[in-house]
Amino acid sequence: MRKFPEDFIWGTATSSYQIEGAADIDGKGPSIWDSFCTIPGRIAQGETGNIACDHYHKFKEDIQLMKDMGVKAYRFSIAWARVMPTGKGEVNEKGIQFYSDLIDELLKAGIEPWVTLYHWDLPLALQLEEDGWLNKNMTDYFADYANLCFDRFGDRVKNWITLNEPWVVSILGYGQGVFAPGRSSNSEPYLAAHNLLIAHAKAVAVYRENYGHQEGQIGISNNCDWREPLTNSEEDKQAAERALEFFLAWFADPVYKGDYPEVMKERLKERLPEFTEEEKKMIKGSSDFFGLNHYTTMYAANSNGEQQEISVNGNGGISEDQDVSLSLDKSWNVTLMDWAVVPWGCKKLLKWISNRYDQPNIYITENGCAYPDKLVDGKVNDQERVDFYQGYLKACQEAIDEGVQLKGYFAWSFMDNFEWASGYEKRFGLHYVDFETLERVPKKSAHWFKEAIEKNSAE
């Protein structure tokens, strides 16, 4: 039986706004998502994260479920506005206490905390008063917030992620306007991304300069889908590579190479901000590991300048800047998100990352699928999700066998949650949540995941 390395990290993941609820109690300030969800038509069925899974009150129960599953690590995010209600200045000690208690409970259960500092829920005050991520001052506010977290939690937290999917913040939040703060532009995404990268680097600098005694590691998690050339033509091969560079290398090249990909500089010209030499030095090498969120694969072809429809499932980066046409194979199964299930794409992406960035240690910090789960006689028989995980974990094994330094895997997500603009319709969880009673029920995939961890194998 083929097994993962003995020290392989097995975990599940969530984010603060999607599960915590308690949106306006114990001193928490509003976030951009608290505000965005009040705009009619933005969220499916007008739903919000005001209560979500009520993890704020049920975290001990949730951690027991993780322990029962045999999970060894838990990736969660801190709500910036819960610990700093306006994003700067005053600290909310009740918010600090919640996360401190959460961390202690995890450690008591033998579960290693992996903490994400920013998973899209910017304090609303920083959006209204500072123009959010379009303002370079945000980089200093973020560094101050990070410093608070390192100071209060770093004695127990040894794994930090600065930003979750800055591509989503930039493209869906500032480009397509479908996520908070809901702006639409063909230039703002590049400015927002630029400031996010500088904010990441400043936070890492704070950690390395002031908290080395904590002996932890820190990195960033980027999302990327694999882009397979539609044909063997040189044009389509170049289009697929270009799509990956606009998607993942946009954020990873500065961290590993010190600057943006040349193809982006050539195509975007003055719309792509420039790093100063000092910023390049600060950003380069600013990640101790490569965090990857991966979900799907699409075919890429050269579009010959034809305008492509902008879609949430589309290109990484503004579509018209790439000249890439995307498509699916009709034979591929798709999830409730209309994302194709293509395990070999995961393997190819892992190898692409390994080759481009000189074999970094990689952690898959999110991978999972949404299906229309139904509770029948108190159980959810989600065989499609089991098949998904089996396929993708086998692809991970193959990548490791071929030299990829894959060190861990976090399933998205621990339980059904508020899935952003999709509300509660799209269920990714290993545990079913009844959002009327807030009861949690292990799905078949939760039992299978436990067995996979115990056997340390996907087979």
Enter the DSSP assignment of 422: G
Q: Which residue among 47, 112, 279, 366 is the active-site one?
A: 366
Residue type, position 226, single letter: W
339 is in an annotated binding site: no
Q: Are 458 and 396 in contact (CB under 8 A)?
A: yes
Give the chain's radius of gyration (CA, Å).
21
295 is in an annotated binding site: yes
Whole-Å CA distances, 376 to 106, 117, 308, 380: 31, 37, 42, 6
What is the DSSP pairing of strand 297-302 with strand 324-327?
antiparallel
Q: Are 182 and 119 in contact (CB under 8 A)?
A: no
332 is in an annotated binding site: no
137 is in an annotated binding site: no
18 is in an annotated binding site: yes
Smallest CA-to-CA distance from 189 within 36, 321, 37, 349 is with 321
- Distance, in Å, from the CA atom of 433 to the CA atom of 380, rounded to the nearest integer, reads 11
What is the DSSP pairing of strand 217-223 with strand 159-164?
parallel
Which 3 state secondary structure label does DSSP give 429?
A: coil
Q: Are 407 and 414 in contact (CB under 8 A)?
A: no
Which 3 state secondary structure label does DSSP give 45?
A: helix
431 is in an annotated binding site: no
- Distance, in Å, from the CA atom of 378 to the CA atom of 382, rounded to the nearest integer, reads 13
Please confirm whether the linkage preceding 35 is cis (ω < 30° from 0): no
| 366 catalytically annotated | yes
357 is in an annotated binding site: no
Whole-Å CA distances, 119 to 47, 114, 141, 436, 458: 19, 13, 16, 25, 29
Unique residue bearing structure tokens 């790439």: 322
To the nearest 10°, the Cα dihedral for 274, 359, 146, 19?
A: 110
Q: Which residue among 165, 241, 245, 279 is the active-site one?
A: 165
Residue 349 half-sphere exposure toward CB, CA atoms < 13 A: 33
Unique residue bearing structure tokens 């293509």: 342
Q: Which residues are annotated binding-site positions?
A: 18, 119, 164, 295, 412, 419-420
User: Binding site for substrate, residues?
Assistant: 18, 119, 164, 295, 412, 419-420
Instruction: Supply the residues annotated as catalytic.
Output: 165, 366
